Chains A and B, each alone.
Chain A
Amino acid sequence: MSAREPSSELRAIHELARLVRETVHPPTAAALDRGLSLLTARVALVRVRRPKVAYWSLLAVVAAACAWLGVQATSLFLGSPTEVPALVYHVEGGSLLAGGYLRDSGEDGVRLIFDDGTKVELLAGAHGRLRTVDKEGTRVVVDQGTASFDVARTKDRRWFVEAGPFSVAVKGTFFSVSWEPASELFELRLQHGRVIVSGPIAGGEIELRGGQRLVVNLPKAETLISETPFDAFAAPSSSVPALPSAALALSAPASSVLEKVPSAVVAAASAKTERKPSWSEYLAHGHWDRILAEAEERGIDTTLSTASSDELFALADAARYRRRSDLARDALLAQRRRFSGTARSLDAAFLLGRVEESHDRARALIWYDEYLTRAPTGSYAAEAWGRKVVLTNELKGREFAQPIAEEYLRRFPDGSYARAVRALCAEP
């Protein structure tokens, strides 16, 4: 190790620390308001419980071994409303990771089923967390995408759904919530029941009743409430909950307003808008340059931070086909960052390997390893194994490539690389 190296690493540490300091900004007034309302509610609960806690603490000192049974027995006898047992739940279609993060195992989203009949579903591509489940209630966070909630009606439990700067207090309802952090668009569709939405909106709080839809566009400071047709719930918007063009026209720019818009007006006006082909459709027809041109028109940074998963994938493909490796790499990295945990994110790892092969083969090998670790039976697994054999042979030699080649043949005896791999294994 040379004498200069340590200072280089220290400089990296200082630069990274500086980046963190510059990146983290003080909380906004809206965030503080939201935090205080939550804190006040929790403090109120502490106040209600305090005498009971003190009593049992004293009893625990006197008879520690009997305290727990004593609490249970007394609670049952008194029928205290604060001693509601915590909910039991299970996860379908995915798993619960550290920190409460929900990861889907396929492309059908992930569902949380509670024993009181409540169902929470994160639709495909959505990211969310189960933050707390306790006697006070349940808090679910929608970090990105759309989630639907069918909350059972109980008088003792409180449900909170948080999406970006918005907080939804729930009691016995069926609704869906969408939040797109990049474009700061929030949407709530309430089929029945009643919810209270708080956040950076006019008046700080909005109460919605069954059949209403709330859309908030934070960058444009637009808030819209409309009556939602019930068939709209059959297919909630899956990713970017953009305001309908008609609704945008009806809401006042640069000010937060509430507009009651009849759904028929919105639907009729929306129908008049000619539908533009999606980037996936452009890609299917080989119109790569149109995709690239539209991305540049929007601004590459904006596209990377706001485009949907479909669009990012189409952009990455178009960029690869036009040999714009940097753009392809950025689009795939954005795919992985913004839609991590999805099948597309895994595919992006493989495609990053393909992009890197023409620039940095060692880096490409790392991406293939990443893909095979995360998706050992994924749709690109055979291709990734094959490329790994080839690159390992080129970079490290046959000695290192041979075990990987044997593993490839064991897994994919009829794979497209089988002949080349057999030839490698047969070499003396």
Chain B
Amino acid sequence: MSKRLSPVSLSLVAGANRRDVSDVELAHGLAAGDAWAIGVAWYRFAPMVLTLAERSLGSRSDAEDLAQDVFLNVFRSKKTLREPEKLRSFIYSLAIFTLKTELRRRKVRGWLSFLTPEALVELSSRTVDVESRDLLRRFYALLDRLSPRDRLIFSLRELESMTVDEIAEVTGTSVSTVKRSLGHAVTRLSRWILADADLADVFDTRRWQR
């Protein structure tokens, strides 16, 4: 008669190599509430979430906050993951959902606030020059003026280089809605760039050489 090992003992023995587990094993670990699974999920997927959030929000600090919320939601809703092999998609969808909520919250706060703060761009790169930082600040100030949905879809298309079909899938909207939102965002951004003498000048006069 074979001796049955307790889950706790197995966890301790295999702890050192947990980073090699598959997504399916990781999903089962999360569902079981194993402590190691939180760490492995974080190291495996947090870079993806942090990068997505930082590009979309223009702030590393806000991206870190959002990543915390995403993974807390992953932990809370781990039992709703029906297809463990789709753990990455599950986390990405939660990240998109949380990002959309954050963009909506920002918009509402912007409406309620009497003082609209300047766009606070705080990206992680240490190598950006003064001119680029100024451009980024202006760009994010324009993005702040888009509706949350248009901004999210624009960010996924232009900053994450996703296809229209992929965007439709992760945002749970139709392809035609994505195309319409994208067109709307690009049209408005174009108009605003034209109206921003400095931005238009940078690109028109080809001073912007990288």
Contact = CB atoms under 8 A, between A and B. Distances in A.
Interface of A: 5-6, 8-17, 19-27, 31-32, 35-36, 38-40, 42-43, 46-47, 95, 97-99, 101, 103, 129, 131, 141, 143, 162, 301, 304-305, 330, 333-334, 337, 340, 362-363
A305 B129 CA distance: 9
B199 A27 contact: no
B193 A24 contact: no
Chain A interface mostly helix, strand, loop or mixed? Answer: helix
B46 A101 contact: no
A101 B122 contact: no
Contacts of A9: 189-190, 193-194, 200
A99 B71 CA distance: 21
Interface in B134-173: 134-137, 139, 158-159, 161
B42 A32 contact: yes
B124 interface: yes
A35 B64 contact: yes
Interface stretch (B3-11, B12-20, B87-95, B108-116): B108-116
B113 A97 contact: yes
Contact of A98 (B117, B128, B135): B117
B121 to A, nearest CB: 9
Given A15-B208, A98-B110, A24 B54 contact: yes
A22 B126 CA distance: 11
Given A25-B124, A362-B197, 4 more contacts: A12-B200, A16-B135, A42-B68, A46-B75
A21 B159 contact: yes
Contacts of A6: 190
A363 B199 CA distance: 13
Interface of B: 33, 38-39, 42-43, 46-47, 50-51, 54-55, 58, 61-62, 64-65, 67-68, 71-72, 75-76, 106, 109-110, 113, 115-118, 120, 122-125, 128-130, 132-137, 139, 158-159, 161, 186, 189-190, 193-194, 197-200, 202-204, 208, 210
B64 to A, nearest CB: 6
A35 B42 contact: yes
A310 to B, nearest CB: 19
B54 A12 contact: no
Nearest to A21: B159
Contact of B64 (A8, A12, A31, A95): A31
A98 B109 contact: yes
